[in-house]
Structure 1
Amino acid sequence: MSDLEPRLRERFTAYRVDVTTRAVGPGPDQARRTLRRRRQTRAVAVAATAVVLVLAPVVANAAMKGDRTPPVPAVSVEPTAPATPDATPTPASTPSGPASPTGSATQAPDGQISRAQLLAARVDLPTWPQTVPSTCTTSNVRLATDASKAIVPLLTDLPVDHADLDGDGTQETVAVVACRYGEALAKQVVAFDRDDDGRIVPLGRVVRTTDGVEDILGVTLTAAGSVDVRVADLQPCCETPTYWPQEQTRTYRFKGGRFVQTGGPTKFGKDPRLTDLRLSMTHELVNVTGGRELTIVFTVTNAGSVDAAQIQFRGLDVGAPTTGDWSRCDPAAAAADDHRTCLVPGVPAGESRRYTFVQRVPSSSGPDATTRYFFVTHYDAQDRQWRDRNEKDNKVQLPGVF
């Protein structure tokens, strides 16, 4: 054993120096790597120590057996750890423009549609009132421009306007379409948009006739996306005066996928320009030289709150006028109506007036005698005729006496 001890100590010393050099590593570069990979290094150090402890008996045993081959570790005491890629450097920040819209943030199609484009396209329309004929279609419609040619959907002469109605950042289009039925037009205010393929599609109906209105007179869009619609309670046609309708402006907005009224009146009340005339009558028929004389006395009561500046009697042409209030009749009005009517000064609100008309009639009734009817009508100081709040009591009848 004495001959082996010097050589054994020499080999242990050489082995210890070699292991220490490999485990610690030379210089500051190894230290920086160790700091950068501290977790892996600690694990490796533990493993290396275990290897040394395992190998030491093996080497010692070989030395005692006279093996002169320098000991070589079975594994490196500094195993190469998996390379960890350096963090990707953050590029210098640069000013960015508006974010490119993607997904749900994609810019909506622009729904600004011209009048010419509406007329050139085929469009779908909201439903019409049930009163319109079947030719007033709603699917794949080519809008017409002349209502007198056919009973088909048409684009009215009211202006086509644009605004952002649904809050998507682009504009939509509002137009008034109509379809004739009888002497009147069914009308509806329709908002149009474009789909993702650029096709014109209805966004929704704002309002239509029969939705508490009888006529649509105009549409104005606001910058806030509201639709102001001027509506009326009557659609003039035939001989209806154009000044009869009551007008209102009602405001609508697109909410919850449809248009709802958000401002203005919701219904029409009684027309404050109208009054309530009530007509009653007495008559007397007597024989006179050369025939008979008919005397009619009308009593007109103004039960309303509006003064009737003038009133007109109609149906008086039953004989030849003689005396009474014939002299008070407006001659121009009588001549214009072939003397079948009489326009006379009227009745203030809450008061009554009597009017007497005497005329010569045939001497006998004959087998063809018929019942005659007389009417009273309200006129204002500008000679404009007005409706009555209750027209049923504006009429009286004369039995068939001639």
Structure 2
Amino acid sequence: MSDLDPRLRERLTAYRNDVVTQVAGPGPDQARHVLRRRRRMTAVAVAAAAVVLVVAPVVANAALRGDQNRPVPAESVEPTAPSTSAPPTPPPTGSPTPTPSANAPAAPDGRISRAQLLAARIDLPNWPSGMSAGGCTTSDVRLQTDTTDTYVSMLTDDAFEHGDVDGDEAAETIAIVACRYGEASAKQVVAFDRDLDGRIVTVGRVVRTGDGFDDIRAVDINRNGSVEVRVADIVPCCGTPAYLQREQVRTYRWDGQRFSQTDGPTTFGKDPRLTDLRMTMTHKLVDVPGADTRRKLTLVFTVTNAGPVDAAQVAFHSIEGGERAGGDWSRCDPEPGPSADHPSCLLPGVPVGESRRYTFVQLVPGKPGPDAITPRFRVFHCDAQDRSWPDLKRNDNEVPSPLRF
């Protein structure tokens, strides 16, 4: 440097002195400055690592699910205050709560036609005791129709009814089946349905005869699924006139296992149309003067009406075996209508609580023949239409003849 121009040396010296004064040398201040810078760098690195730890599982789970809506990294992170609300209750463990499934099979349509039921083999509920032993079968039955055979299960002519009686939102079929045991038949109201394979199956018996009544007249299904059955106390057959029959409507519902009565009367009780007639008799037998071998028999019947119904007319039966010879024969109707059960005489009746006397005179043989019998005389209540009605106590409106004819 000694060969440098003195002026140049002065300028280099001044420049070096100026630069040295601007450069911080090692010392406490410089050490604190470096430490603060390192701490800031460490904090930034830790925050970056935390963001990576949070975002990485979300991105990974989205990739595993094949989720097309992958999360986008946030551009900035704003600090949030910790939540003070309680965490949501986790769902209960175990089997999931059942929900209506669109895949569940719908209940089959149980609408069955008459022809379909006749063509199928079915199982029937039990018949009243003694009917099955007589031949009214219940297993694998092929129903018949228009038959007069006895102890054969048959389908009646009554109309079918269709409706949802078991609550499965599909219709079932209600029909009346019968089994003849003579002039009359036992009957059942039976509910039929189809299984998932379309086969006809028996749901159950709604009701049958023998349960406090002897005939089933009709059935109907209400909108709520209950079954109304019109029943009758007697069967109009075998010489029993139809006007004697009383009817009731009883309601039954399916409870999941069987049909039970839910409405309507449960018994018929006494027939309010009937009354109690009571009869006593006196007689007088005398010989007929002359060569006639016959004798005169005078019968006097006292009839009392013990109630509770006025008897518009009374009918006498079985006053036979002789020739009419006087008394009330002249004022009685000897040939009333056939509904009066062909009485021997029909006369004005007896109000409740009163008595009437009726006299009949006959000529009868002097000696009974080999075929003679001891007849019994009966009195019956008849209405104004000449219709004969049973008596509430038959034993006290009947008396035997005093002699054989």
User: TM exceeds 0.5?
Assistant: yes
Identity level (%): 58
How many Å separate the matches in 1 of 2:185 and 2:45?
100
How many Å separate the matches in 2 of 1:208 and 1:296?
48
How many Å separate the matches in 2 of 1:176 and 1:300?
45
How many Å separate the matches in 2 of 1:383 and 1:331?
12
The residue aligned with 1:192 is 192
CA shift for structure 1 position 200: 0.8
Residue pair 2:339, 2:388 contacting (<8 A) in 1 also: no
How many Å separate the matches in 1 of 2:343 and 2:240?
20
Match of 1:38 among 39, 54, 74: 54
The residue aligned with 2:402 is 399
The residue aligned with 1:67 is none
The residue aligned with 1:245 is 245
CA shift for structure 1 position 197: 1.5
Amino acid at match of 2:236: P
CA shift for structure 1 position 185: 0.3
The residue aligned with 1:120 is 119
1:215 aligns with 2:199: no
The residue aligned with 1:322 is 325
Match of 1:389 among 369, 387, 392: 392
Q: 1:304 to 1:38 in 2, by over 3 A?
A: same
Q: 1:329 to 1:267 in 2, by over 3 A?
A: same
Unaligned runs of 5+ in 1: 1-16, 42-80, 91-97
How many Å separate the matches in 1 of 2:236 and 2:281?
32
The residue aligned with 1:145 is 145
Q: 1:334 to 1:218 in 2, by over 3 A?
A: closer
CA shift for structure 1 position 234: 0.6
1:166 aligns with 2:133: no
How many Å separate the matches in 2 of 1:261 and 1:339?
41
The residue aligned with 2:351 is 348
Amino acid at match of 1:180: R
1:303 aligns with 2:306: yes
Amino acid at match of 1:318: G
Map Cα deviations across residues 118-158 of structure 1 (whole Å, 9 max, x no partner): 11111111011113254211111111111314531111011
- Comparing 110-119 with 171-180, which one deviates more in the overlay? 110-119
- Comparing 220-229 with 371-380, which one deviates more in the overlay? 371-380
Pairs aligned (count): 332
Tell me the SS of whatever aligns to 2:51: helix
Tell me the SS of whatever aligns to 2:141: coil
CA shift for structure 1 position 222: 0.8
How many Å separate the matches in 2 of 1:261 and 1:37?
72
CA shift for structure 1 position 311: 1.1
Q: 1:304 to 1:335 in 2, by over 3 A?
A: closer
Residue pair 1:302, 1:348 contacting (<8 A) in 2 also: yes
Residue pair 2:378, 2:398 contacting (<8 A) in 1 also: yes
Residue pair 2:154, 2:178 contacting (<8 A) in 1 also: yes
Unaligned runs of 5+ in 2: 1-37, 70-98
How many Å separate the matches in 2 of 1:123 and 1:111?
14
Residue pair 2:216, 2:232 contacting (<8 A) in 1 also: yes
TM norm structure 1:
0.75
CA shift for structure 1 position 312: 0.8
TM norm structure 2:
0.75
Match of 1:293 among 285, 292, 296: 296
Amino acid at match of 1:234: I
Q: 1:272 to 1:335 in 2, by over 3 A?
A: closer
Residue pair 2:144, 2:152 contacting (<8 A) in 1 also: yes
What RMSD, in angstroms, separates the aligned Cα atoms of the two structures? Answer: 3.1
Tell me the SS of whatever aligns to 2:335: helix
The residue aligned with 2:181 is 181
Residue pair 1:187, 1:208 contacting (<8 A) in 2 also: yes
Tell me the SS of whatever aligns to 2:309: coil
Residue pair 2:150, 2:179 contacting (<8 A) in 1 also: no
The residue aligned with 1:71 is none
Amino acid at match of 1:341: S
How many Å separate the matches in 2 of 1:235 and 1:368?
36
Residue pair 2:309, 2:351 contacting (<8 A) in 1 also: yes
How many Å separate the matches in 2 of 1:334 and 1:287?
36
CA shift for structure 1 position 24: 4.6
> Any residues of structure 2 matched to 1:251-270 within 5 Å, and which?
251-270=251-270
> Any residues of structure 2 matched to 1:72-111 within 5 Å, and which?
83-86=60-63, 88=67, 101-102=102-103, 105-111=104-110
How many Å separate the matches in 1 of 2:342 and 2:190?
49
